[in-house]
Amino acid sequence: MQLRKNPNNIFVKLLLGFWLCSSLIITLVGLLPLLQQNHDQSELPPQLKHLLETVSQKIINNPQVLNNDKMKRWDRFKEFNGRPIRIYLVDENANVLNTHKPSRTLRRFMLIADEAGKPIKQQFRNELMFGPYSFHVEGKEYSLYGRIPEHHSRPWFFFFSDNKILTLSIAILLSGLLCGLFAWHLGKPLRSLKRSADALAGGDLSSRVDMATALRNDEIGQLAQAFNSMADSVEDMVNSQQRLISDISHELRTPLTRLKLSLALSRKKGQETAETERIEYEADQLEQMIAELLELSRVKLNANETKRNLELSETLSQVLDDADFEAQQQQKQLHIDIDESIVAPLYPRPLCRAVENLLRNAIRYANSQVSIQAIATASNIQIEIIDDGPGIADETDLEAIFEPFYRPQSARDRESGGWGLGLAIARAAIQAHQGKITAENNQHSGLKITINLPIQ
């Protein structure tokens, strides 16, 4: 019911927009003949009427002029305001008596004047026609028409009435332009909604529809407000979830520390057994997993850190040095190709952790070589990490490997002993930059991880 009461809704806009657009075009095209008629045709002016009266009086006073031999001598000598004027005498049968070949313009004007039912003047392209003036001679009715060679400049819009096809084309073009502007007016806020929805789906929980769209008084504005409310709720729930995971992981460290302390005391008392060694091993594994969970929560709750414009190579320098050392210990080569001139707004710690996890994963499974390179464009930075290992056999796992705790059924992860959090941390760090991370198998062997970071 609210939409029906609101006059500024989409239905009303669509109805009024297209109705007004079509009505405007039809009105403009339909008014052209009426405007032309009002401009070209008007009542007979007194001076022209007086001229016809004078000529008719001369004929009444001298009826011999109606003789065919004398009629040709009086129709050309008249002048009106210094311009030659020609008078046509027409009998009651609409026959022009003083010319053998009446022009089409004269015949046309006679029909127009007959429809008008009164003396008028009509402006044609190069001449002015006026009349009729009726009088009687010897019981017969005659009419006088006049013609003055005259050219008047016509209003520019009469050009369209003389060019029907061009007028139709312009009307179609104008209608399309008006409808296009109206469609743009409706499509702009929808595009803003789509961008915000895509950003939210991509992990940017801070994405909101702009206020200009949210303050509209139609259904689109209501949809934008509902979207922003939904995004606020989603952000609160996700942040609450991450805080809960972080708090639980942090609290688990206290009993875990006590457990490890008890194991150390038992070892000092000479109570070390195979069972206590197993307990200590599992405790270490649990501590590492808790540390990974805490790191994942910190990356996703990256609200307190601000981006800084930093050199990419300098930011990753320590990570690259550690990765190079680790590769040498495993008799593998790490090739680095990162230009020192690449500068971008970065979160240093999350990005370093993401690249560190990806490099360690690549070094672990590479046969002999790992490479990392960065390419900068006008809009983003692309980082590629490539190894020559076995890759991932199941193509469906290439997207799922970035999910927390996901374990693909492949040799690549069965021997790792991990929990599937390293790549999840990497993706969370990249999403914090509003970037994107993807994985794909190389043509021959190995895996390629591609990171796209926006510069703006």
Give the model confidence (pLDDT) of 205-243 as tens digits: 778 888 888 888 878 888 889 999 998 888 888 777 777
Q: Which residue in 324, 291, 288 sits closest to 416, CA to CA?
A: 288
Catalytic residue, chosen from 50, 185, 250, 335, is 250
Residues 364 and 446 occupy one common structural domain: yes
Residues 315 and 331 occupy one common structural domain: yes
pLDDT of residue 151: 57
Whether residue 199 is contained in a domain is answered as no
Whether residue 211 is contained in a domain is answered as no
- Read off the CATH number of the domain in which 121 is found: 3.30.450
Whether residue 206 is contained in a domain is answered as no
Whether residue 422 is contained in a domain is answered as yes
Residues 318 and 416 occupy one common structural domain: yes
Residues 270 and 316 occupy one common structural domain: no
- Read off the CATH number of the domain in which 354 is found: 3.30.565.10
Domain boundary among 300, 328, 356: 300
Q: Put the strands of the sheet holding 86-91 in their side by side order.
A: 41-43, 120-123, 127-137, 140-149, 86-91
pTM above 0.75, yes or no: no
**Beta carbons within 10 angstroms of residue 270's beta carbon:** 6
Residues 27 and 140 occupy one common structural domain: no
Please say if 250 is a catalytic residue: yes
Count of structural domains within the chain: 4
Over 90: is that where the pLDDT of 104 sits? no
Angle between helices 348-365 and 317-329 (to 10 degrees): 20
Give the model confidence (pLDDT) of 327-385 as tens digits: 999 999 999 999 888 888 888 888 888 898 899 889 988 889 999 999 988 888 999 99
pLDDT of residue 188: 83
Residues 34 and 67 occupy one common structural domain: no
Whether residue 67 is contained in a domain is answered as yes
Whether residue 205 is contained in a domain is answered as no
Residues 32 and 69 occupy one common structural domain: no
As a three-state string, the secondary structure of 256-268 is HHHHHHHHHHHHH
**Beta carbons within 10 angstroms of residue 75's beta carbon:** 18
Residues 353 and 422 occupy one common structural domain: yes
Higher pLDDT, 225 or 257: 225
pLDDT of residue 305: 63
Range of the domain at 270: 219-300
Residues 180 and 252 occupy one common structural domain: no
**First and final C-alpha spacing in the chain:** 44
Whether residue 177 is contained in a domain is answered as yes
Residues 29 and 116 occupy one common structural domain: no
Give the model confidence (pLDDT) of 50-95 as tens digits: 888 888 888 888 887 777 665 655 555 456 666 678 888 888 888 8
Whether residue 207 is contained in a domain is answered as no
Over 50: is that where the pLDDT of 431 sits? yes
Give the model confidence (pLDDT) of 14-44 as tens digits: 667 677 777 776 776 666 666 555 555 678 8
